[in-house]
Amino acid sequence: MAISYDDPHRIRLLSKLVTMAAKDPLFLRKMHSLAHTQSSQHRLEVPSMDFLTSDSSDYMYSEEVVDPEPFDPARIMDIIMLNSFEGEYKTGKEESRLCALYLLPSLINHSCHRNASRLIVGGAMIIHAATDIRKGEEITITYVSTVAPLQRRQKSSLSMKFGFTCKCKRCRVEESLQNSLRDVSELYCDLHDKAADEVHMAMCSQRSPPPESSFTTVLQLRNVFDTVCEKVFADKGLSELEKRWVLAGYSSAYLGKWLVSGYASHFSNVPVLLDQKVVEVVKALRATVPGLVHTLSLTTFILGITQRLESKEELAKEVFMLGMAECAGAYGNQKSDVMLKLMEKSTEVIPFF
């Protein structure tokens, strides 16, 4: 595995973990039990959940699991590469960058239609159910953006960093459509990469209008979304959920670019695309993971603009119902006035607003 040792956050984490491991052999043993090679041949048994009710201090280890490995900073770096979580988190108004290792969440495998989400609160990680989970069903999170197209999910860190090609149900459905969607997905991937760079730049530039955000690309992305809609809705072999899984892969660049371009034009060009298809976009996002705060913010944003347009009353009602459902998914069932407040607050997640 190609390891970059030049990330200051990871180096800081390495030195912290090495210090902790030197002081505490049990911690070293726990850390050494995490995956450190791309093939994860040493795969662990998923620990029993008994630790939730009894003494949790040693939950991962039975007597037979003896750590034979000597203390090895290079291996710890490999463990960090495969298991650490990175991102921004907020404490009050302060934003900090996080690079941390969480032992139990590191055991959770990836799925492109995960059933759990993770949330960083302060320095703690909360893993919560994103949908109903049957007894005995594996809990999964996602390691990559689930709204990227199949080719990008497979090419991204799943294969480069984690060393596996995802074969989840959703990937298999998308693979089965690869031939019929080939032309459109090549065009989409191209536009997706350019749009992703631009959206990233716009977000980093903190509220200042993005330099280039041509509406022509938004229209191209929208055409791709329309074409995929036509194909999947005509496909009798796909269930409703499977159709949405496919559509979700063609939604993020479209939405991101639409937002950035809308922001640059003071939203003058946004209403052009406000039609029934936005409902399909939101439903597609929900299908890969319901109750995601980002989807809720996008829904609320779309709702805000739709409500201001007289001709879009019906659409506004539909988007409102979707927003409420998304809000309940994100925060649990609440009284409707609480839901409305939560929806109002949710646009704060989008950096431009």
Does position 243 interact with ligand SAM (CB under 6 A)? The reply is no
Given 13, 84, 109, 147, the residue binding ligand SAM (CB under 6 A): 109
Q: Pattern of binders to ligand SAM over 67-86, x per CB under 6 A? A: ---------------xx---
Closest CA to 216 of 299, 272, 152, 266: 272
Phi, psi dihedral angles at 89 (to 5 degrees): -140, 155
Find the shortest distance in angstroms from Cβ 163 to ligand SAM: 5
Find the shortest distance in angstroms from Cβ 292 to ligand SAM: 19
Give the range of 37-45, 64-72, 175-183, 222-230 binding ligand SAM by CB under 6 A: 37-45
> Which is closer to ligand SAM, CB of 162 or CB of 250?
162
Find the shortest distance in angstroms from Cβ 286 to ligand SAM: 21
Find the shortest distance in angstroms from Cβ 34 to ligand SAM: 6
Does position 106 interact with ligand SAM (CB under 6 A)? The reply is yes
Does position 31 interact with ligand SAM (CB under 6 A)? The reply is no
> Which is closer to ligand SAM, CB of 28 or CB of 221?
28
Q: What's the one-letter identity of residue 314?
A: E
Residues 137-196 that bind ligand SAM (CB under 6 A): 162-164, 166
- The site that binds ligand SAM (CB under 6 A) totals a number of residues, namely 17
Map tokens 């839901």 to a residue.
339
Given 12, 16, 43, 97, the residue binding ligand SAM (CB under 6 A): 43
Asked whether the beta carbons of 163 and 1 are under 8 A apart, the reply is yes
Find the shortest distance in angstroms from Cβ 294 to ligand SAM: 22
> Which is closer to ligand SAM, CB of 107 or CB of 325?
107
What is the binding site for ligand SAM (CB under 6 A)? 34-35, 38, 40, 43-44, 82-83, 106-107, 109-111, 162-164, 166
